[in-house]
């Protein structure tokens, strides 16, 4: 494994790991706040219990998110010192703002998790709301930095060095809006659909063994999750469409790779599935919908879509990876949107987000799509990041010029990967044991909720 | 020293970085120190010592930890070449420190939320404690390596062996001495803070005794470091001995160290807390001013590695606005969970 490949792989592993916790850190606080707010409004005890149970899981996930994020801030320099030397002054701004968002997030999360008995219920709810807001803010700031790597702005290049640096213009880069929007909705869709799916699964599986109170608990949880998951999953393909239009304009070579479009073509077809061959320069086995790609990307069925052939061969990203991950994201997203629409119809019919345990097909559907959001997120980031190759800053700095000269990068790559495999396994084990397995046992629930309340 | 005015935009940001590092040492440093005392929890009140430590750390460690992130982002935004140099030459100790950070944070959280069975608890507790020792050691090693002035560009451009470039600058007596100093200082801070937080007299005495031990260790290690600095960190050494400002810092640090020990002896725990915090801060500022205007000696200074003015100006604005938001929030956090702030 070459040094460059080891560095790229380490970055990919670290980011792919972090993003799961980041999404949870963005969306869970909102769900806890909704649950707590419903408790304050209705005084139904299940909602308080729900907020506390979720808070417990979130505490674990948040801590892992915080440490894995710290690793990333260092890795930007440890692996890509030339990138940071070039870009630090241009794009450090959103990272600094993100730093302050982390502060508010961590401070009020501490207040939220450990302050149940120490502050008034209103103050407690407000602390939760601050966590929810600053979570979104930190996500937005860091994705702005990433959007800049895709659509660099806010400087001029003279002799290979940036001059006339304008950090505000860098933040207002043309990719920022669509990418931050898509990412923020993704966080809500992934987390809410996953949480909803877990509770739907418990309702489905343990319908008979659950007592009345636990049924209420899981229905309540599902209701809160669906109130966010349904709109987010339905909006996500729309915002994805917006993203795709921006990619078509800003990074036509990435767009061509995503779509498996080798030759430039008017009235280009939309390809579903298929395998692009870089050697044969065509995409085989795809279902083609005539002219649909031109229509989708440019609102004109005869618009010209530029193919990979227009670009030098050494500026191509690895086409199959980009195409397949993009297709995977779209397939997962479409499925999620369909199930979410179905759930929306049922909700409208019930006039309530609380599904009945008898809506079995829907509960099954929701259980199946539980992991889809997180999978789509990973696939989406692979599209974005692998699609940017061979550039680290698109059109400006090549990835291979940015990597650290330190030899033997395979060692940290293996260490970090093992560490994260271990951590991931422990987290899954802990959540499984505490949040899923104990749900069938009522005394456990009581014990857990009293344990959370009595924590100092 | 430079002939420039003392307060340029870049020197202000450099000062802000030092302030953030200082607060990190005082807050997160004590959290790491807590881990050290978790490992050395002994005697009849062992479990209660551990509980006190855990309760003291739990609500605040994540917020405290963000000061380090602030240091990193300010450094790469305002002084990109310095960041790039450090991250390249100190790749190994930085990576090891990250492992420590990851293991400390996650093991601590897992311990709080995992089953209450003793064996499982101890496993997480052990990892938490060992990582709490490793991390400050490496943090000190990194700061010490910077102070030796060996992280030059030439090291990278001349063909040299792997060890010469990536190992020798930090695996050396002076950096290791600074690592040891950071460790005992953090242990001192933790023990002193815990004397204030302990609710009952017996526990308070436990930590008083530990604080006195740690204070003694600090004196020994600090003296050893001064000796090493003379041979291995000429820049810091000459500033420390000749610069009158830095000399003042050193004397101040020694006085506050004595003050902390005396207050502990007399059981004036709140005074001891203040004195220990001042001691740590003065040591840190003695080093920072000792190497000013150099960020990464021998060649990268605050001026020649600064980002363009537009970036520095915006960063200063962001810092002021951010602190206006942050300080009241932090005050609130400590008001809810800590007494006497
Ligand atoms: C819940 C997750 C999720 C779902 C259901 C979708 N996406 Fe997505 N997508 C992401 C999560 C995501 C992401 C992980 O969040 C990405 C990676 C980078 C980014 O900003 O968002 C992304 C990137 C991304 C990009 C590339 C942006 C760039 O390179 O700058 C495009 C074109 C789309 N998406 C389009 C879509 C379409 C047409 C979808 C239709 C169903 C879709 N996404 C569903
Ligand atoms: C958290 C979600 C993210 C995921 C899952 C992700 C995924 C990836 C992947 C798979 C790579 C390797 C690409 C390749 O080399 O083929 C990569 C590279 C990289 N990413 Fe991301 N990314 C994410 C967000 C970000 C953000 C927000 C930034 C910066 C602000 C960023 C900066 C980088 C850098 C600097 C590299 C290395 C250079 C390169 O390979 O081009 N990433 N990422
Ligand atoms: C190169 C890319 C990235 C870097 C350097 C980075 C850095 C960090 C750091 C340092 C933290 C810890 C904050 C704390 O101590 O509380 C963190 C947490 C977080 N990050 Fe990232 N991050 C990156 C990518 C992302 C992406 C793509 C998102 C999402 C959209 C994101 C969203 C979050 C959120 C919401 C948190 C707080 C929640 C939690 O800890 O679970 N980050 N990140």
Closest residue on chain B to A60 (Cα): B109
- Asked if A376 and A402 touch (Cβ cutoff 8 Å), the reply is no
The rounded distance, in Å, linking the Cα atoms of A73 and A75 is 6
pLDDT at B340 over 70: no
Nearest to B100 by CA among B31, B41, B156, B37: B31
**Pair B184, B214: CB distance under 8 Å:** yes
For residue B63, the distance in angstroms to the closest alpha carbon of chain A comes to 5
Which atom of ligand 2 lies closest to the CA of A142?
Answer: 27
**Worst-scoring range by mean pLDDT, A71-80, A82-91, B246-255?**
B246-255
Mean local confidence (pLDDT), A360-371: 93
| Interval B45-74 mean pLDDT | 87
- The per-residue pLDDT for range A290-342, each reduced to its tens digit, is 888 988 988 888 889 998 999 999 999 999 999 999 999 999 999 999 999 99
| Amino acid B182: pLDDT | 94
Strands A282-284 and B300-301: unpaired
Q: Which tokens hold the place of A267?
A: 């009235």
The Å distance, Cα A139 to ligand 3 centre, comes to 7
The pLDDT value given to residue B24: 92
- Extract the tokens encoding A364: 């099954």
- Over residues B216-241, mean pLDDT: 79
- A9 CA: nearest ligand 2 atom: 12
A88, A163, A165 ranked by CB distance to B76: nearest? A88
User: Alpha-carbon distance B186 to A202, whole Å?
Assistant: 47
Question: CB-based burial of residue B77 (10 Å sphere; 0-12 exposed, 13-18 middle, 19+ buried)?
Answer: buried
pLDDT one-digit tens code per residue, B253-282: 889 989 998 888 988 888 988 988 898 898
Q: Is A371 in the pocket of ligand 1 (CB under 6 A)?
A: no
| pLDDT higher than 60, residue B80 | yes
Report residue B263: phi and psi, to 5°. Answer: -65, -35
Residue range A11-22: mean pLDDT, rounded: 96
Query: What residue of B is the nearest CA neighbor of A448?
Result: B113
Number of H helices, E strands in chain A: 15, 10
What helix, strand, coil percent values describe chain B, rounded to 5?
80, 0, 20
Among the partner residues A67, A76, A110, nearest to B333 by beta-carbon distance: A110
Which residue is associated with the tokens 């086995």? A285
Average pLDDT over residues B75-81: 93
Q: How many CA atoms lie within 13 A of B259 on its CB side?
A: 17
Top mean-pLDDT range of A137-146, A288-297, A434-443: A137-146
Contacts of residue A82, Cβ cutoff 8 Å, sequence gap at least 6: A397, A401, A402, A403, A404, B84
Across residues B234-243, what is the average pLDDT? 65
Cβ-based neighbours of B15, under 8 Å, separated by 6 or more: none
| A92-112: average pLDDT | 91
Look at residue A436 in the predicted model and tell me its pLDDT. Answer: 57
DSSP symbol at B306: P
Tokens of B27: 């807050």
Q: Is the pLDDT of residue A452 over 50?
A: no
pLDDT of B241:
62
In this prediction, residue B116 carries a pLDDT of 63
Confidence of residue B132 (pLDDT cuts 50, 70, 90): very high
pLDDT of residue A295: 87
C-beta neighbour count of A147 within 10 angstroms: 28
Q: What is the pLDDT of residues B321-337, one digit of tens each?
A: 998 988 899 889 888 88
Which residue among A1, A4, A7, A12 is best mutated to probe the pocket of ligand 2, counting the most ligand atoms within 8 A of its Cβ?
A12
C-alpha triplet A166, A82, B7: angle, nearest 5°: 50
pLDDT (mean) for B186-190? 91
Overall average pLDDT of the A436-446 stretch: 48
Task: Of B11, B34, B15, B32, give the one whose Cα is nearest residue B207.
Answer: B34
pLDDT at A86: 93
CA angle B327, B331, B334 (to 5 degrees): 140
Say what the ipTM of the complex is: 0.90
pLDDT at B225 over 80: yes
Dump pLDDT digits (tens) for A374-390. Answer: 999 999 999 999 999 89
Nearest to A375 by CA among A232, A189, A247: A189
Mean confidence (pLDDT) of chain B: 86
Please, are residues A101 and B85 in contact by the beta-carbon 8 Å criterion? no
Sign of CA dihedral A165, A167, A170, A172: negative
Ligand nearest to the Cα of A103, by number: 3
d(CA A140, ligand 1 centre) in Å: 15
Pairing assessment for the beta strands A270-272 and A287-289 based on DSSP bridges: antiparallel
> Inter-chain contact B77–A87, Cβ cutoff 8 Å?
no
pLDDT score for A443: 43
Question: What's the confidence (pLDDT) of residue A455?
Answer: 35
Residue range B81-99: mean pLDDT, rounded: 94
Distance from C-alpha of A70 to C-alpha of A74, rounded to nearest angstrom: 7
Residue B173 C-beta-side C-alpha neighbours within 13 Å: 11
A96/B318 CB distance under 8 A:
yes
Nearest CA in chain B to A417: B99
One DSSP character per residue, A299-366 reads S-TT-EE--GGGS-GGG---HHHHHHHHHHHHHHHHHHHHHHHHHHHHHHHHTSS---TT-HHHHHHH
For A150, A272, B25, the CA distances from A146, given in Å and listed in that order, are: 7, 28, 31
Model confidence band, residue A448 (pLDDT cutoffs 50, 70, 90): very low
Averaged over B47-63, what is the pLDDT?
Answer: 85
Q: What is the mean pLDDT of residues B200-227?
A: 89
Q: For the residues A219-247, what does the mean pLDDT come to?
A: 95
Cα–Cα dist A184/B42, whole Å: 48
Q: Residue A444: its pLDDT value, please? A: 45
Which residues in A lie closer than 8 A to residue B77 (C-beta atoms)? 88-89, 92-93, 95-96
pLDDT band at A445 (very low <50, low <70, confident <90, very high): very low
Half-sphere exposure of A96 (CA within 13 A, CB side): 31
pLDDT at A454: 34
The overall longest dimension of chain A from CA atoms, in Å, is: 72
**CA atoms of A65 and B209, how far apart (whole Å):** 37
**For residue A446, what pLDDT band results from cuts at 50, 70 and 90?**
very low
Q: How far apart are CA B326 and CA B319, in angstroms?
A: 10
Record the tokens describing residue A433, joined without a space.
Answer: 């044991």
How high does pLDDT run on average in chain A?
A: 89
The CB of A124 under 6 Å from ligand 1? The reply is no
Averaged pLDDT, A101-113: 90
pLDDT in the model for residue A236: 96
Question: Is any ligand 1 atom within 6 A of the Cβ of residue A243?
Answer: yes
What is the distance in angstroms between the CA of the first residue and the CA of the last residue of chain B?
A: 38
Q: Which of B48, B51, B80, B325 to mutate to test binding with chain A, by most A CBs within 10 Å of its CB?
A: B80
Residue of A450 and A26 predicted with greater confidence: A26
Give the 3-state secondary structure of residue A115: coil
**Crossing angle for the helix pair B269-291 and B201-232, nearest 10 degrees?**
20
pLDDT for B240: 60
**Distance, CA of A292 to CA of A302 (rounded, Å):** 9
Percent of chain B with pLDDT over 90: 32
Q: What is the pLDDT of residue B70?
A: 93
How do residues B290-322 score in pLDDT, each as one tens digit?
888 888 888 888 888 888 998 999 999 999 999
Strands (DSSP E) contained in B56-173 are none
Q: Do B332 and A107 touch (CB under 8 A)?
A: yes
Distance A326 CA to ligand 2 centre (A): 16
Residue A123: helix, strand or coil by DSSP? helix
Torsion over CA: B167, B171, B174, B175 (sign): positive
Res B236 pLDDT > 80: no
Tell me the average pLDDT across A48-76.
Answer: 90
Can you tell me the distance from the alpha carbon of A378 to that of B39, in angstroms, rounded to the nearest whole number? 39
Structure tokens at B172: 């050396």
pLDDT higher than threshold 80 for residue B181: yes
pLDDT at position A402 over 70:
yes
Is the pLDDT reported for residue A245 higher than 90?
Answer: yes
3-state secondary structure B303-327: CCCCCCHHHHHHHHHHHHHHHHHHH
- CA angle A13-A18-A22, nearest 5°? 155
- Residue A210 Cα to ligand 3 midpoint, Å, equals 38
Three-state secondary structure call for residue B270: helix
- Quick check: B60 pLDDT over 80? yes
């Amino acid at each position: 494994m070459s040094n460059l490949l080891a560095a790229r792989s380490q970055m990919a592993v670290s980011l792919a790991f972090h993003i799961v916790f980041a999404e949870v850190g963005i969306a869970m606080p909102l769900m806890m706040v909704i649950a707590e707010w419903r408790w304050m409004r209705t005084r139904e005890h299940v909602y308080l219990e729900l907020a506390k149970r979720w808070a417990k899981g979130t505490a674990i996930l948040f801590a892992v998110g915080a440490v894995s994020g710290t690793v990333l801030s260092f890795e930007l320099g440890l692996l890509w010192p030339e990138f940071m030397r070039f870009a630090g002054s241009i794009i450090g701004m959103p990272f600094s703002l993100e730093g302050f968002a982390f502060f508010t997030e961590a401070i009020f999360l501490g207040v939220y998790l450990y302050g149940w008995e120490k502050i008034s219920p209103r103050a407690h709810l407000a602390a939760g709301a601050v966590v929810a807001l600053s979570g979104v803010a930190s996500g937005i700031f860091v994705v702005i930095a990433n959007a800049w790597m895709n659509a660099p702005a806010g400087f001029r290049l003279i002799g290979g060095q940036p001059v006339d640096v304008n950090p505000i213009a860098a933040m207002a880069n043309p990719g920022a809006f669509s990418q931050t929007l898509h990412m923020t909705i993704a966080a809500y869709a992934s987390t809410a659909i996953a949480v909803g799916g877990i509770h739907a699964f418990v309702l489905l599986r343990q319908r008979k063994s659950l007592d009345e109170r636990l049924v209420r608990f899981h229905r309540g949880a599902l209701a809160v999750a669906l109130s966010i998951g349904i709109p987010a999953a339905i909006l996500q393909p729309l915002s994805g469409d917006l993203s795709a239009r921006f990619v078509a304009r800003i990074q036509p070579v990435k767009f061509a790779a995503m779509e498996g479009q080798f030759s430039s073509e008017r009235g280009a077809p939309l390809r579903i599935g298929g395998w692009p061959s870089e050697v044969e320069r065509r995409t085989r086995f795809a279902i083609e919908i005539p002219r649909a790609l031109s229509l989708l990307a440019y609102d004109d069925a005869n618009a010209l879509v530029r193919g990979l052939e227009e670009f030098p061969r050494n500026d191509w990203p690895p086409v199959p990876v980009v195409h397949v991950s993009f297709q995977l994201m779209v397939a997962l997203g479409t499925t999620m949107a369909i199930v979410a629409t179905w759930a929306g119809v049922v909700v409208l019919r019930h006039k309530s987000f609380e599904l009945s345990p008898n809506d079995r097909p829907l509960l099954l559907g929701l259980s199946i799509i539980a992991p889809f959001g997180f999978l789509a997120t990973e696939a989406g980031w692979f599209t974005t990041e692998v699609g940017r190759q061979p550039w680290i800053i698109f059109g400006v700095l090549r990835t291979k010029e940015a990597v650290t000269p330190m030899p033997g990068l395979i060692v940290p790559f293996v260490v970090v990967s093992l560490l994260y495999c271990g951590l991931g396994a422990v987290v899954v084990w802990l959540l499984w044991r505490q949040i899923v397995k104990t749900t069938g046992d009522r005394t456990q629930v009581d014990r857990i909720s009293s344990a959370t309340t009595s924590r100092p | 020293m430079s002939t420039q005015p003392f307060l340029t935009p870049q020197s202000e940001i450099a000062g802000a970085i030092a302030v953030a590092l200082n607060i990190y040492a005082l807050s997160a440093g004590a959290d790491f120190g807590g881990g050290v005392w978790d490992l050395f929890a002994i005697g009849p009140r062992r479990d209660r010592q551990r509980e006190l430590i855990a309760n003291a750390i739990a609500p605040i460690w994540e917020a405290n930890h963000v000061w380090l992130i602030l240091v990193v982002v300010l450094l790469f935004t305002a002084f990109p070449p310095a960041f790039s140099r450090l991250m390249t030459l100190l790749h190994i100790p930085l990576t090891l420190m990250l492992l420590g950070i990851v293991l400390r944070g996650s093991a601590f959280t897992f311990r709080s939320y995992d089953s209450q069975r003793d064996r499982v608890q101890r496993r997480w507790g052990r990892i938490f404690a060992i990582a709490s020792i490793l991390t400050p050691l490496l943090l000190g090693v990194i700061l010490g390596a910077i102070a030796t002035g060996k992280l030059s560009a030439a090291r990278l451009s001349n063909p040299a062996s792997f060890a010469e470039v990536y190992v020798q600058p930090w695996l050396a007596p002076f950096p290791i001495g600074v690592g040891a100093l950071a460790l005992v200082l953090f242990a001192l801070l933790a023990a002193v803070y815990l004397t204030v937080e302990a609710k009952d007299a017996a526990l308070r005495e436990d930590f008083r005794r530990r604080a006195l031990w740690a204070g003694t260790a600090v004196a020994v290690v600090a003296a050893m470091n001064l000796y090493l600095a003379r041979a291995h960190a000429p820049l810091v050494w000459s500033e420390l001995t000749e610069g009158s400002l830095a000399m003042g810092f050193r004397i101040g640090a020694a006085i506050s160290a004595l003050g902390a020990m005396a207050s502990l002896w007399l059981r004036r725990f709140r005074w001891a807390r203040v004195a220990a915090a001042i001691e740590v801060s003065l040591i840190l500022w003695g080093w920072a001013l000792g190497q000013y205007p150099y960020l990464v000696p021998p060649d990268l200074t605050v001026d020649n590695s600064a980002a363009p003015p537009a970036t520095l100006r915006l960063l200063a604005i962001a810092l002021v606005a951010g602190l206006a938001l942050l300080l009241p929030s932090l005050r609130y956090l400590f008001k809810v969970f800590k007494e006497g702030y």
